[in-house]
Amino acid sequence: MTRSNRHQRPGAGAAHPSVHHWIVGPGALGRMLAMHLATAHAPHDTVTLVGRRAMPGQQRLITPHGQTLSATLATASLESLPAEPADVIHLTTKAYACEAALGAIAERLTATTPLVLWQNGFDCQPRITARHPGPVLCATTTEGAHVQDDSQVTHAGHGKTFLGDLDGRHSALATALAKHVNAAGLACEAVADIRIRLWRKLAVNAAINPLVAQFQIRNGQLRDTPYRGMVEVVIEELAPILASERITPPTGTGVQGWSELVWEVAASTANNRASMLQDVLAGRPTEHRAILGPLLDSAQRHGLQAPTLSSLYARLRELPANARI
Ligand code: KPL
């Protein structure tokens, strides 16, 4: 891996600035991103992978074509942060761990350090955008990855990443950073409507994740009886809440538009174990607060009924760590 001393904030003017990325959160997404940025041929970005504990530097990525990519990454822990400052910090933790991770690196943030939030849902993103003095970008991705062990991650399938900021002030930075992610081999586009895109993914996650976690089934099985009807009930509750947030489905309108999107994702990820199911099976906390919380808060603000979403939320909240549903 080439290390350049021409570190520069992306979007700061140079034709091909080399950027030092800190990736905080060495789960499947974080390590998949780190491996791509570290092994890309151009630009010669550098990467440090930061976790609660330092991960092994020698990492492997199994590509969607079954090849094994190996690289030695710089790694660090939250207790012993990298000496070299970050040009950009990617937070790739689970949604519920994001703000604690940010707190742990607070002393190393400057008023201009760009943050990229890769979390599911729509919970920490507006709070961090309001609080961090520097630019905050949000990312939403359909890249599929899962952890094998501390040294190996499988990149199950290529998807697409969208990047943008919630207050519309950092589009040049989003465009510059999208170039780095593209150059690293991950399709990425800077967009002006990231809020809509985050909510759309939240809608899909809300319709799929709690049910597959509860019944311990793969996404595609939701198309079968009796699960299909349960998904449709969730979609009927989601649609008016999303409309009250002025979030439209990508095609069609209302219940029919959201239904099309959800069934399209259930079909294209039919063989997947959704992230929430993986969390439940591994005894980890789930992202129910980030995914269902904003919908329930919005329903309450707008006087809408959401009994099914409330009971899915309550069931996931009650789940003790290390217990299965
Ligand atoms: O994003 C996902 C997840 O697992 O969290 C879906 C779209 C449900 C794919 O599995």
- ipTM of the shown complex: 0.96
Candidate from 118, 219, 221 with most ligand 1 atoms within 8 A of CB, to mutate: 219
CA distances from 307 to 132, 214, 246 (A): 35, 16, 21
Residue where the block lists tokens 């538009």: 257
% of the chain beyond a pLDDT of 70: 92
- Kindly list the structural domains of the chain, giving each domain's residue range(s) and its CATH number in brackets, ordered by start: 20-192 (3.40.50.720), 195-324 (1.10.1040.10)
Backbone angles phi, psi at 239, to 5 degrees: -55, -50
pTM summary value? 0.92
Q: How far is the CA of 293 from the centre of ligand 1 (A)?
A: 17
Residues 6+ apart with CB under 8 A from 179: 10
* Cα separation, 175 vs 198, whole angstroms: 18
* Cα separation, 258 vs 264, whole angstroms: 10
* Cα separation, 135 vs 169, whole angstroms: 8
Q: Report the pLDDT averaged over residues 292-298.
A: 98
Tell me how many degrees the CA angle 121-130-123 measures, rounded to the nearest 5.
15
* Cα separation, 30 vs 41, whole angstroms: 19
Which residue's CA is the nearest one to ligand 1's atom 4?
A: 274
Using the atom order of ligand 1, give the atom closest to the CA of residue 205.
8
| CB contact at 8 A, 88 and 116 | yes
Helix ranges restricted to H, the chain: 28-39, 98-104, 124-131, 171-183, 194-215, 227-244, 254-268, 275-281, 288-301, 307-318
Whether pLDDT at 321 is above 60: no
- Report whether residue 137 contacts ligand 1, using a CB cutoff of 6 Å: no
Whether pLDDT at 318 is above 90: no
Q: How far is the CA of 257 from the centre of ligand 1 (A)?
A: 18
* Cα separation, 163 vs 194, whole angstroms: 7
Whether pLDDT at 73 is above 80: yes
